[in-house]
Structure 1
Amino acid sequence: MHDNLVLNESLLTQLQQAYARHGQPHRWDEHQTAAFFQHIQAEGTEHWLPSGDGLDYGGFLEYMTSPAANALGPPPPEQDLSWPLGSYFCSSSHNTYLTGDQLASDASTAAYKDVLLRNCRCIEIDVWDGTEHFHDPDNPDSGGFDGRGTRKLGFRARTALKVGTWVLDNCMTTEKAKEEAKEHKARFASLLGVEPRVLHGHTLTKEVPFREVCRAVKEHGFVTSDLPIVVSLEVHCTPPQQDTMVEIMRQEWEGLLLDEPDEPAEVLPSPEAMRNKILVKVKYVPPEGDLTPINTTESDMSDIARDGEPAKKEKPVKITHDLSDMGIYTRAVKYKSMTQKEAEMVGHIFSVSEPKLPGAFDKEASLFFAHNKRHLMRTYPAGTRVDSSNMDPSGHWRRGVQFAALNWQTMDEGMMLNEALFDGSKGYVLKPDGYRGVKLGHEEGGEPMVPHQTLHACSVTVLAAQGLPSESGAGLHPYVSVKLFADPHPLQLMKREPLAGRTEPAEGINPDFGGQTVLFGDVVGVTSELSFLMFQVMNDELGRDPLLGWACIRLDRLRTGYRIVRLFDLENNQTPAALLVKIEMAVQNAGA
């Protein structure tokens, strides 16, 4: 939102003091105005000094309440989308189907609608063998519908399914026979019209039909962004139900799926070349080989049983060639090392879990980072995050990971950073220099180095806030936590303590913080495109302090000087609340 801010008394008082601090009390002359805009605000005076005769207090307030004084600067008007896919960060979701925690929440197509309309471009679908729900596109009016557009099996079909399942479950005694029985059951179910379902396995999460998820992707996927969608499939289905998956995807995504290229690609295509297309990420099976057991489970949560105890280890699922062939530029390969033969295969994608990423990177850091300049990688939260909390994705981006998948249903610091990186984009952000390879045909220029900057005398002075949410201002004791996410590049082998500070609590919904300063000092080795300043307004209470509002800004879009910070709520909606701060830092490029 870019509407002008209406000021309350707390902000007005601090702005009046700021105006008096930098010039004459009623009207700044031309030199005082120029000094304020150039040295304090680090911007030009063209718009606010058109006649060259200074700036009065009313003009100063007009400036401070306009979008020009927002701490968040505008995104670039145009983004270059012609680089290969591996040259971009992609806004990505983990366990997209869940509406809450990973033990007992519902699976819902509404979750896909929500993230897609927020420009998420990589979603996840966990697919399991179906039960009695199925969809009959040729006979939609027959049978009883369950209210979601999905028909249940009739009495005879349901009885036949139960009898056949009972026979296969009770007449097979050996382990080999039991494994064969699973496939027989799936084939029998497919003949009756049973379709796969989406849920979080081995938990109490509710299910939703796979077809409905595919339909939701088609209906909402390209409403707010026409850039390509990567669908990450976690397949737990038997081969007959995989065949049904392929049929459903081809039906529901007709005209949206990528075609196999006529010739093997030398490099990945660009987002520009794949507008309005869906890429299927699925485990890769070599075409010359037989079906081989491949562990299709990425999420560590598959090892959590319904009672919260560790489950019996799931046996690998055989992926059919028809399903595997749907992965064209996103062929999922199990990561072992950067020297495995698949690491140079155009169109592969490695997946690495949050807890395994640091060790995997440290073991072969240079190869790891070089790989992610040209080839794809997806990371995802640890399976122990049963509350659907999130990792800090910024460390993953600094390692070159394109798809750092997060739980979008939880607005915590991880998602705040994700919102900051992709703000103003349509789900793809071009990596900084040094994080990309070179375009095909432009090799003579070589690869640029990773940019490093130093922030000198970095500080944030918190002046006041207004409009904080509260049923009653009585008993509200807000304070402001300020965090700087600016870790050095991992190849620099530098360590840095977390950079954070907070104010003392103030009072009420329009608190005056009196100019308390959070000092960060000099910060070296910064890549501003991957560094962030985060504000969290908290209420000081016994126990866990609730969040009243937040904002997070990428450093390359952060404006210094006296600035208004517009606050968001836990639903990611901009609120009327705002902070008045003074941001100070001098940015020096390496070698300057």
Structure 2
Amino acid sequence: MDPEGSRIQDDPDVKIMMAGSTLRKVKSRSWKKQRHFRLLEDGLTIWYKSRWAGRGHSTFSVTELEAVREGHQSEVLLSIAEEFPANLCFTLVFHGRQGNVDLVAESPEEAQAWIQGVRKLIHKAQTMDEKERLDQWVWDWFQKADKNKDGKMNFKEVRKLLKMMNVDMNEEHALHLFTMADKSDTGSLEIEEFVHFYKILTQRDEVWKVFQDYSGDGEKLMLEELENFLRIEQQEGEQSAQHAKELIDRYEPSETAKKQSAMSLDGFQMYLCSQEGSIFKPEHRHLYQDMSQPLSHYFISSSHNTYLLEDQLRGHSSLEAYIQALKRGCRCVEVDSWDGNDGEPIVYHGHTLTSKILFRDIISTLKEYAFKTSDFPVILSLENHCGVEQQTVMAQHLRQILGDTLLTTLLDGQIPQQLPSPQELKGKILLKAKKIGGLEDCNDETLTDEVSDDEEMANGEAESPTAEDPPAGCLKENGKKSKSKLSRELSDLVVYCKSLHFHGFEHARLHAKCYEMSSFSESKAKRLTKEAGTDFIRYNTRQLSRIYPSGLRTDSSNYNPQDMWNVGCQIVALNFQTAGLEMDLNDGLFRQNNCCGYVLKPDFLRDGDTQFSPDKPEGRQGYRPLRLSIQVISGQQLPKVNQKEGSIVDPLVRVEIYGVPQDQAKEETSHINNNGFNPVWNETLNFIIHTPELALVRFVVEDYDKASRNDFIGQFTLPFMCIQAGYRHIHLLSKDGTAIPPSSLFVNVSISEFT
């Protein structure tokens, strides 16, 4: 059984890959080494080794790749552009935070064969259905375990394979299954027999039991029986009849059953494991929200220190970090600009040892990648430390490189009473920076309203030198004149996002314009949330606010964004380069609405007269708490945490709720000893959710360890409002937020009124 079939292997480009090529692997200007690369027979694994090194080799799977970039499309390849022409160069881009691989072929033809071949294989991997994916997974394991490559496996090899697959099985039981599968009676399993063995091994009693509850004859679900299941268990109501028919057409492997409009156990399991059977409402994956409201009515996916791939003291500044953030749906990126030695502004983390990149290169990267994942506007948050001359250079680069993409004028020529909508700003890049004067007097050529540092100090308005917004360009409405530290050319590019020092909610209510926005450190934002939560919410209905991590987080760790979302802050900036709970929450919130980077705030965070307070959720109109009950039934093929021979996980599941303070909660199951393959818990966890519209639910699987901290196995986070009730699978993600198929949890979710 070759799940790939012979078709893709017959492709001329794939044939060249299978024959193998010598390619230069490039890590820097000085590190360029020849490696022999080839595609293995499974059509999915790329193998490479040094020509000289003994037996050492490396492999990676095509499923780990996201794309292939052609030509000089990485900093490393740009740095050797004079030595190797673009038509020899290409970059393999991996999912998540795994570093890219830059390669140089010996001829343009060979480069093209690898570029096109890898693209075809990525497309093939992405379009596999559930059955093909599972077959491929089983096939991969067989290949890994068949050490002598004779296409057969004896019992000893199978036992070893089960350990690799995270199964600790009673020897007698394993031998019994092995003998059942060894139809040819040879004492070893060929691939077909191994697939049969795997099927018996993975028969899921818990799915069979649900199937039995609705099947009249225990063999199949007739159309009406499937409808009943969808209506009663999956709570689909009216649409269940139409949906039942679609599911049989889509997931039933047996033609005979299809003709009878029936579903077999195999088809039923395939439906439950598919995206439609997942916990995430399919209709909320698409762009389902109203995108015509003012920008201030949306949460906006936002990154801090976007140029960093690592920590803030010695980390690597990289264009790749911008590409990765934008690909994850980020819609607000940050640039810290400083004067460069040769008149060209540079970007890095000031006064530290982080590497430096040219401002103009970042703008070129932004131009190319800003709208690949989402059409909605990108805000460029400029931390400007440059003198006037290089500010003018920045303005020239912004105009020349971005052209029409950069928004430089009011949309309709009118001074706005409210911010424009994401819909109106589609395909536009907005500059957030200091501005001389306001939109009302943008024709005024005099640089008034600018205060000097000493005046600011005298008024006690200056921020600390480590604050995000340098005080250099702070404006006050007192008519005092001073020499401007702002370049007029740069100032003119700021339209709807004028940075301003925050003077309190009362001052903003009386004087602020909708296009003026302030930045708050996490500690200041936390304090305001506690002291004046409802005022902060009202402020955020009209104006944008940006929150950024404390300057003390030199390791690029993150704060919990939930507290800021609870009061309607839109631009809650996180270090996208740092994996963990906080980025899981960010990915979870923005997983809905087509991952476009904009999520409409609940109505009580958009009403300028709102009475809502996160600390007293019961005080708002329309308060309706819900009961969430999650029966954690089982787990499937959990990844190994410890690669040590013979170590198997002891998994437990924890469900965590993030939302208003009253909703914060965690409940966990007991742990199952030595079974990462098909653990069964059958434990129910209960929660009361007071503000469902703001709640996020995070499922975490850990390897229990009584002596030390549990190891992370996988997680999945989603908004409470996107949960589908019923029997659902949760497809787990790695620490990096990338998929780890076929690892999943099987749960039964029920949501009801709490009375």
- TMscore range, shorter length: 0.7 to 0.9
TM value normalised by structure 2: 0.61
- Listed as ranges, the matches of 1:368-517 within 5 Å are 368-423=536-591, 424-437=594-607, 452-456=623-627, 458-469=629-640, 471=643, 474-488=646-660, 495-496=662-663, 498-517=665-684
CA distance in 1, matches of 2:494, 2:336: 16
Q: Which segment drifts farther, 505-514 or 222-231?
A: 505-514
CA distance in 2, matches of 1:89, 1:73: 20
Q: Which segment drifts farther, 454-463 or 377-386?
A: 454-463
Corresponding residue number in structure 1 for 2:236:
43
Cα RMSD for the two superposed structures: 3.3
- Listed as ranges, the matches of 1:484-563 within 5 Å are 484-488=656-660, 495-496=662-663, 498-517=665-684, 519-521=685-687, 523-528=688-693, 530-541=694-705, 543-563=708-728
Choose from 190, 198, 218 the match for 2:347. 198
Query: Contact 2:303/2:333 (CA < 8 Å) preserved in 1?
Result: yes
Confirm or deny that 1:116 pairs with 2:326: yes
Which blocks of at least 5 consecutive residues in structure 2 are unaligned? 1-125, 136-197, 249-258, 438-446, 474-484, 609-619
CA gap of 1:464–1:20, structure 2 versus 1, over 3 A, is farther
Choose from 68, 78, 83 the match for 2:276. 68
2:602 aligned counterpart, secondary structure = coil
Corresponding residue number in structure 1 for 2:294:
84
Structure 1 residue 462, shift from structure 2 partner: 3.8
Structure 1 residue 486, shift from structure 2 partner: 4.4
2:433 aligned counterpart, secondary structure = strand
2:745 aligned counterpart, secondary structure = strand
Q: Which segment drifts farther, 356-365 or 81-90?
A: 356-365
CA gap of 1:462–1:474, structure 2 versus 1, over 3 A, is farther
Query: Contact 1:481/1:535 (CA < 8 Å) preserved in 2?
Result: yes
Structure 1 residue 472, shift from structure 2 partner: 6.0
- Overall identity of the aligned pairs, in %: 28
Query: Contact 1:87/1:437 (CA < 8 Å) preserved in 2?
Result: no
Q: Deviations over 1:35-61 (max 9, x none)?
A: 532232222532336899875534422
CA distance in 2, matches of 1:212, 1:84: 31
Corresponding residue number in structure 1 for 2:305:
95
CA distance in 1, matches of 2:728, 2:690: 25
Structure 1 residue 416, shift from structure 2 partner: 1.0
2:416 aligned counterpart, secondary structure = coil
Structure 1 residue 515, shift from structure 2 partner: 1.8
1:215 aligned counterpart, secondary structure = helix
Letter in 2 for 1:60: F
Corresponding residue number in structure 1 for 2:401:
252
Letter in 1 for 2:717: C
CA gap of 1:451–1:219, structure 2 versus 1, over 3 A, is farther
Letter in 1 for 2:586: N
Corresponding residue number in structure 1 for 2:151:
none
CA distance in 2, matches of 1:457, 1:467: 25
1:240 aligned counterpart, secondary structure = helix
Letter in 2 for 1:477: V
Confirm or deny that 1:324 pairs with 2:488: no
Structure 1 residue 104, shift from structure 2 partner: 1.1
Query: Contact 2:377/2:427 (CA < 8 Å) preserved in 1?
Result: yes
Letter in 2 for 1:111: A
CA gap of 1:77–1:199, structure 2 versus 1, over 3 A, is closer
Corresponding residue number in structure 2 for 1:276:
427
Letter in 1 for 2:671: E
- Listed as ranges, the matches of 1:226-305 within 5 Å are 226-261=375-410, 262-286=413-437, 288-290=448-450, 292-293=452-453, 302=466
CA gap of 1:254–1:30, structure 2 versus 1, over 3 A, is closer
CA gap of 1:291–1:87, structure 2 versus 1, over 3 A, is same
1:538 aligned counterpart, secondary structure = strand
Q: Deviations over 1:176-210 (max 9, x none)?
A: xxxxxxxxxxxxxxxxx421111111222111111
Q: Aligned pair count?
A: 502
Structure 1 residue 397, shift from structure 2 partner: 1.3
Corresponding residue number in structure 1 for 2:183:
none
Structure 1 residue 422, shift from structure 2 partner: 1.3
Query: Contact 2:377/2:422 (CA < 8 Å) preserved in 1?
Result: yes
Query: Contact 2:452/2:472 (CA < 8 Å) preserved in 1?
Result: no
Structure 1 residue 23, shift from structure 2 partner: 5.7
CA distance in 1, matches of 2:695, 2:530: 21
Structure 1 residue 332, shift from structure 2 partner: 1.1
TM value normalised by structure 1: 0.76
Q: Deviations over 1:517-563 (max 9, x none)?
A: 3x234x142233x2222122223355444322221121111112221
Structure 1 residue 425, shift from structure 2 partner: 2.9
2:371 aligned counterpart, secondary structure = coil
Structure showing greater radius of gyration is: 2
CA distance in 2, matches of 1:99, 1:301: 24
- Listed as ranges, the matches of 1:138-157 within 5 Å are none
CA gap of 1:533–1:474, structure 2 versus 1, over 3 A, is farther
Structure 1 residue 300, shift from structure 2 partner: 8.8
Query: Contact 1:562/1:583 (CA < 8 Å) preserved in 2?
Result: yes
Query: Contact 1:298/1:351 (CA < 8 Å) preserved in 2?
Result: no
CA distance in 2, matches of 1:32, 1:236: 68
Structure 1 residue 217, shift from structure 2 partner: 0.6
Q: Deviations over 1:143-197 (max 9, x none)?
A: xxxxxxxxxxxxxxxxxxxxxxxxxxxxxxxxxxxxxxxxxxxxxxxxxx42111
CA distance in 2, matches of 1:128, 1:353: 21
Q: Deviations over 1:360-382 (max 9, x none)?
A: 12333322111111211111222
1:86 aligned counterpart, secondary structure = helix
Structure whose residues are more often helix by fraction: 2
Query: Contact 1:291/1:319 (CA < 8 Å) preserved in 2?
Result: no
Corresponding residue number in structure 1 for 2:139:
none
Which blocks of at least 5 consecutive residues in structure 1 are unaligned? 132-192, 305-312, 439-448, 489-493
CA distance in 2, matches of 1:68, 1:220: 30
Q: Deviations over 1:458-507 (max 9, x none)?
A: 2341412215245467313242443332433xxxxx64553332441442
Confirm or deny that 1:218 pairs with 2:367: yes
CA distance in 1, matches of 2:463, 2:626: 38
Query: Contact 2:628/2:752 (CA < 8 Å) preserved in 1?
Result: no
Structure 1 residue 278, shift from structure 2 partner: 0.9
Query: Contact 2:381/2:432 (CA < 8 Å) preserved in 1?
Result: yes
Query: Contact 2:319/2:365 (CA < 8 Å) preserved in 1?
Result: yes
Confirm or deny that 1:19 pairs with 2:211: yes
CA distance in 1, matches of 2:710, 2:464: 30
Query: Contact 2:272/2:728 (CA < 8 Å) preserved in 1?
Result: yes
2:698 aligned counterpart, secondary structure = strand
CA gap of 1:58–1:476, structure 2 versus 1, over 3 A, is closer
CA gap of 1:574–1:300, structure 2 versus 1, over 3 A, is farther
Structure 1 residue 509, shift from structure 2 partner: 3.9
